[in-house]
């Protein structure tokens, strides 16, 4: 547990953002304590379903950032030998041999071919020049050969896991699981109760609450606000654990810097929401054995007993057209209908109820890109002013993160993604940030850099949230 706090302290202590005044890293000497009373919404919404799922998060204890900083430095993140890792749990797969999974590399020259691969059920993970790598079931492999794709290499999941597997609790214990995420959110809300509140935007398919931390100087909980809003969401995809850490630690960073002139201005003038873990069921499944399961989807039990819907194919934007699959066993399964899943439905309700939202980042990993609409079609967004605004903001966030800015569909066309829907339905300037990394499990050492650079981009987004069009010169 301490390791998480240590990681935060390490990261937070070193950050400075270009929009902020340069200065010495802050010292955090104050003792932080849990204040149950300040997080009434959280308390009120804990239900039997929470306890049925697992342990209610322990109460936040006291912590000083300086103390934690020293301890993290002593934490051996390198050189930990991972224990042997098993095949992914069979319950994530549909029954039978057809569901056996492989790590494959296939020749595919452009986004059209990549889109076809997605449609055949391939779960694209890495894009290189002329090739892509990712996961595929036996069934997908058959479909690929029928369509004439050439598979350059193929290894079984067992071999893949041997080669790349890491053990979460030991090597990556600085990452926050669900309870630890909730505990940190509670601590942050409790210790910044003048500007922060915590509420659930809905429950997952297994009944966990999806928590949202709100930062607003005068409105709390679900109370309406007319201030321009920004929302940061992580972990649509379960195994993309870094995508929880980035928004979570961004929130922590904001609180630590709430006295800085620029941050103060944003907190006073904006309505800021952080929903770091949208798919906690999948996250918990991915790590529950102490060994990664490469889980992408949520934990919906489909009619054929296969598990999961791809939440980033379940939004109502060209739902289940290009780059998505109707096959339940596919990693890009779009669900029975648009918004069939409680997690995506919660985001829909959340966004529809907040017409003040202007900007949004959905965090994924690990292509190192800043993506903007459209993703479900190769068309550009029709409004030239909007298009230029998207490009300008993505370019600046790309500069700050070191990531490549591009239109989503240039990577591949994939329908039903959250950012397309947010822009189409709410005119929200919505970006997918694919964090960096050499895999879904980049290790503890990856957190510091990813968070550091992404805090800069996230703060930049705040700086344009009052009027995104001001980025057009
Ligand atoms: O495929 C996705 O949902 C995202 N990539 S990931 O590897 N994290 O799964 C990218 C979504 C970008 N959107 C579109 N291309 N539509
Ligand atoms: Zn993702």
**The predicted structure's pLDDT at residue 165:** 55
Percent residues over pLDDT 70 in the chain: 77
Is residue 147 scored above 90 in pLDDT?
A: yes
333 token code pair: 């399964």
| Ligand number nearest to the C-alpha of 135 | 1
Is residue 91 scored above 70 in pLDDT?
A: no
User: Higher confidence at residue 142 or residue 169?
Assistant: 142
Q: Which of 131-135, 244-248, 288-292, 383-387 has the lowest average pLDDT? A: 288-292
Q: Say whether 321 is catalytic.
A: no
Is residue 307 scored above 60 in pLDDT?
A: yes
Tell me the CA–centroid distance for residue 295 and ligand 1, in Å.
Answer: 15
**The predicted structure's pLDDT at residue 129:** 85
Please, which pLDDT band fits residue 36 given cuts at 50, 70 and 90?
very low
Please, which pLDDT band fits residue 171 given cuts at 50, 70 and 90?
low
User: Higher confidence at residue 367 or residue 96?
Assistant: 367
Catalytic residue (one of 245, 396, 434, 436): 434
Cβ 364 under 6 angstroms from ligand 1: yes
Tell me the CA–centroid distance for residue 10 and ligand 1, in Å.
Answer: 30
Query: Mean pLDDT across the stretch 385-407?
Result: 98
Q: Count how many residues are written for the chain.
A: 473
**The predicted structure's pLDDT at residue 444:** 83
**The predicted structure's pLDDT at residue 440:** 84
CA-based end-to-end distance of the chain: 47
- Write phi, then psi, for 185 (nearest 5 degrees): -60, -40
Give the ligand 1 atom nearest the CA of 118.
1
User: Higher confidence at residue 228 or residue 77?
Assistant: 228
CA distances from 373 to 102, 115, 184, 353, 382 (A): 31, 16, 32, 22, 10
In 103-223, where does DSSP find H-type helix?
111-119, 138-146, 157-164, 168-171, 178-191
Query: Mean pLDDT across the stretch 10-34?
Result: 31
Spatial contact of 118 and 414, defined as CB atoms under 8 Å apart = yes
Tell me the CA–centroid distance for residue 272 and ligand 2, in Å.
Answer: 22
Q: Is the dihedral of CA 21, 25, 27, 28 positive or negative?
A: positive
Give the ligand 1 atom nearest the CA of 367.
7
Give the ligand 1 atom nearest the CA of 411.
15
Quote the CA–CA distance of 416 and 311 in Å, as a whole number: 9
Spatial contact of 175 and 437, defined as CB atoms under 8 Å apart = no
Cβ 471 under 6 angstroms from ligand 1: no
**The predicted structure's pLDDT at residue 290:** 76
Q: Which residue, by CA, sits nearest to atom 7 of ligand 1?
A: 125
Cβ 331 under 6 angstroms from ligand 1: no
Q: What is the pLDDT of residues 432-462, one digit of tens each?
A: 999 998 888 888 888 999 999 999 999 999 9
Quote the CA–CA distance of 329 and 318 in Å, as a whole number: 21
Q: In what order do the strands lie in the sheet with 229-233?
A: 196-203, 209-215, 271-275, 229-233, 357-365, 429-435, 369-372, 404-407
Tell me the CA–centroid distance for residue 311 and ligand 2, in Å.
Answer: 9
Give the ligand 1 atom nearest the CA of 125.
7
Query: Domains plus CATH for the chain?
Result: 2-76+169-290+333-471 (3.40.630.10), 90-164 (3.30.70)
Is residue 296 scored above 90 in pLDDT?
A: yes
Classify 394 as helix, strand or coil.
Answer: helix
**Mean pLDDT rounded to a whole number for the chain:** 81
Q: What is the pLDDT of residues 320-329, one digit of tens each?
A: 999 999 999 9
Cβ 423 under 6 angstroms from ligand 1: no
The pocket of ion ligand 2, defined by CB under 5 A, consists of 237, 240, 364
Tell me the CA–centroid distance for residue 409 and ligand 2, in Å.
Answer: 15
Sort 455 into a burial class: Cβ within 10 Å, 0-12 / 13-18 / 19+. buried
User: Higher confidence at residue 159 or residue 312?
Assistant: 312
Give the ligand 1 atom nearest the CA of 310.
3
User: Higher confidence at residue 90 or residue 148?
Assistant: 148
User: Higher confidence at residue 361 or residue 77?
Assistant: 361
Q: Which residue, by CA, sits nearest to atom 2 of ligand 1?
A: 312
Q: What is the pLDDT of residues 52-64, one digit of tens each?
A: 222 223 333 433 3
**The predicted structure's pLDDT at residue 157:** 80
| Ligand number nearest to the C-alpha of 321 | 1
Query: Mean pLDDT across the stretch 26-32?
Result: 24
Classify 216 as helix, strand or coil.
Answer: coil
Q: How far is C-alpha 147 from the geometric centre of its chain's CA atoms?
A: 32
Sole residue written with tokens 């439905």: 345
Please, which pLDDT band fits residue 71 given cuts at 50, 70 and 90?
very low
């Amino acid at each position: 547990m301490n390791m998480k706090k240590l990681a935060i302290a390490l990261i937070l202590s070193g950050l400075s953002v270009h929009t902020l005044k340069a200065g010495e890293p802050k010292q955090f000497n104050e003792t932080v304590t849990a204040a149950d009373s300040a997080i009434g919404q959280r308390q009120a919404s804990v239900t039997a379903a929470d306890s049925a799922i697992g342990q209610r998060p322990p109460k936040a204890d006291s912590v000083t950032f300086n103390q934690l900083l020293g301890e993290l430095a002593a934490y051996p993140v390198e050189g930990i030998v991972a224990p042997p890792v098993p095949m992914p749990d069979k319950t994530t797969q549909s029954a039978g041999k057809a569901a056996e999974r492989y790590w494959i590399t296939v020749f595919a020259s452009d986004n059209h071919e990549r889109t076809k691969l997605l449609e055949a059920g391939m779960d694209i993970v890495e894009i290189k020049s002329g090739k892509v790598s990712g996961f595929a079931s036996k069934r997908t492999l058959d479909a690929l050969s029928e369509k004439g794709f050439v598979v350059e290499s193929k290894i079984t999941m067992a071999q893949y896991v041997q080669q790349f597997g890491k053990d979460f609790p030991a090597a990556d214990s600085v990452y926050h699981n669900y309870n630890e995420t909730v505990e940190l959110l509670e601590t942050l809300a409790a210790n910044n109760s003048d500007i922060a509140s915590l509420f659930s935007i809905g429950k997952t398919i297994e009944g966990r609450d999806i928590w949202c931390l709100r930062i607003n100087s005068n409105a709390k909980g679900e109370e309406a606000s007319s201030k321009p809003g920004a929302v940061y969401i992580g972990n649509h995809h379960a195994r993309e654990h870094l995508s929880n850490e980035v928004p979570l630690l961004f929130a922590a960073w904001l609180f630590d810097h709430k006295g800085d002139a620029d941050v103060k201005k944003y907190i006073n003038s904006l309505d800021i929401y952080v929903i770091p873990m949208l798919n906690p069921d999948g996250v918990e499944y991915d790590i529950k054995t102490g060994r990664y399961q490469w889980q992408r989807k949520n934990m919906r039990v489909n009619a054929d007993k296969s598990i999961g819907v791809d939440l980033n194919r379940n939004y109502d934007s060209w739902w289940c057209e290009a780059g998505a699959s109707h096959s339940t066993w596919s990693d890009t399964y779009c669900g029975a209908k648009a918004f069939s899943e409680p997690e995506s439905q919660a985001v829909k309700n959340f966004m529809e109820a907040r017409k003040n939202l202007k900007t949004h980042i959905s965090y994924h990993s690990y292509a190192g890109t800043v993506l903007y609409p459209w993703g479900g079609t190769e068309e550009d967004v029709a409004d030239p002013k909007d298009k230029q605004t998207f490009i300008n903001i993505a370019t600046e966030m790309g500069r700050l993160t070191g990531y490549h800015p591009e239109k989503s569909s240039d990577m591949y066309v994939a329908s039903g993604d959250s950012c397309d829907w947010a822009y189409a339905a709410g005119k929200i300037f919505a970006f997918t940030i694919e964090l960096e990394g050499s895999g879904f499990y980049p290790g503890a050492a990856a957190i510091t850099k990813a968070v550091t650079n992404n805090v800069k981009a996230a703060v930049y987004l705040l700086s344009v949230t009052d009027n995104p069009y001001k980025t057009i010169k």
